[in-house]
């Protein structure tokens, strides 16, 4: 059986596309695609999160199933066989299709300002987030009261609360938020954000040029994106999301049933409205 790299190269050639064509379509540099096709995964500096993110994007471009490609990667690189996942009652129900982006929709522009105030496109989305957050709060209240099978109120996460309070501190008048390098910087100039849902949670993730996800994430669902632009994540229940940036785990997004948003650039985290 051919290796994963050979499979990727053969699928690209079957499309009649060169590495440069694939690079333009996926916004992944040609020499990084060449490394994927050569199986030289260790040469990618962004770690597992970047490798898996690039494989997802490249698989979609080639018309392959991303999960199959990631299983193949785990088998070849880590020697892991895919384990059957238990199906809960909620997961067994048909899931409403979520609009997904093509690789061409992700990362369309370069030269985005890394410092200064948050982009104006962020503020335009707050009304949508507020409506979704209200729905999430209602569900959480019902769950805590026992209607949805809850057994008691959950204790607030002191770490998440502290993080949210710090994020809510006002910026002095006339000052611009600066990037905080709370994760390893990528020499390729990218920021890679991975979200893992630990419960049912509404999420919206965007760049200046694209909507990466907008809708409900299920427990155990993982989404990963790499971009040269600012990646903004918004939710109405930050305790249900685990954040990893450039392979650096950052814990939960914020507190339970709390409307919050956080943003990252390739040089660090910036203040989001």
Average pLDDT by stretches of 10, the chain with 273 residues: 90 96 96 94 88 96 96 89 52 51 48 46 60 66 58 48 47 50 84 91 90 91 91 89 91 85 92 81
What is the model's pLDDT at position 177? Answer: 52
Class of domain 4-78: mainly alpha
pTM of the model: 0.40
What is the model's pLDDT at position 116? Answer: 45
**Tokens, residue 115:** 């410092």
Q: Where are the domains of the chain?
A: 4-78, 103-270
């Amino acid at each position: 059986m051919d290796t994963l790299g050979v499979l990727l190269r053969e699928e690209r050639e079957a499309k009649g596309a060169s590495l440069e064509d694939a690079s333009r379509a996926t916004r992944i540099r040609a020499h990084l695609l060449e490394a994927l096709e050569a199986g030289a995964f260790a040469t990618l500096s962004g770690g597992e999160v970047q490798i898996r993110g690039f494989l997802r994007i490249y698989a979609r471009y080639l018309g392959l199933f991303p999960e199959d490609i990631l299983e193949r990667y785990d088998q070849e690189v880590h020697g892991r066989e895919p384990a059957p996942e238990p199906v809960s009652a909620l997961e067994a129900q048909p899931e409403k299709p979520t609009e997904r982006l093509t690789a061409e929709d992700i990362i369309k522009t370069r030269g985005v300002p890394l410092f200064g105030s948050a982009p104006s496109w962020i503020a335009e989305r707050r009304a949508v987030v507020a409506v979704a957050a209200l729905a999430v709060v209602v569900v959480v209240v019902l769950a805590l009261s026992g209607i949805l099978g809850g057994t008691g109120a959950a204790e607030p996460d002191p770490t998440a609360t502290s993080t949210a309070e710090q994020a809510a501190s006002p910026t002095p008048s006339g000052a611009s938020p600066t990037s905080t390098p709370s994760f390893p910087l990528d020499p390729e100039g990218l920021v890679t954000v991975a979200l893992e849902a630990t419960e049912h949670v509404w999420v919206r993730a965007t760049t200046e040029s694209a909507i990466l996800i907008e809708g409900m994430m299920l427990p155990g669902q993982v989404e990963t994106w790499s971009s040269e632009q600012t990646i903004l994540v918004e939710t109405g229940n930050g305790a249900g999301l685990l954040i990893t940036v450039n392979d650096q785990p950052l814990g939960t997004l914020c507190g339970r049933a709390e409307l919050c948003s956080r943003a990252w650039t390739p040089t660090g985290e910036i203040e989001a409205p």
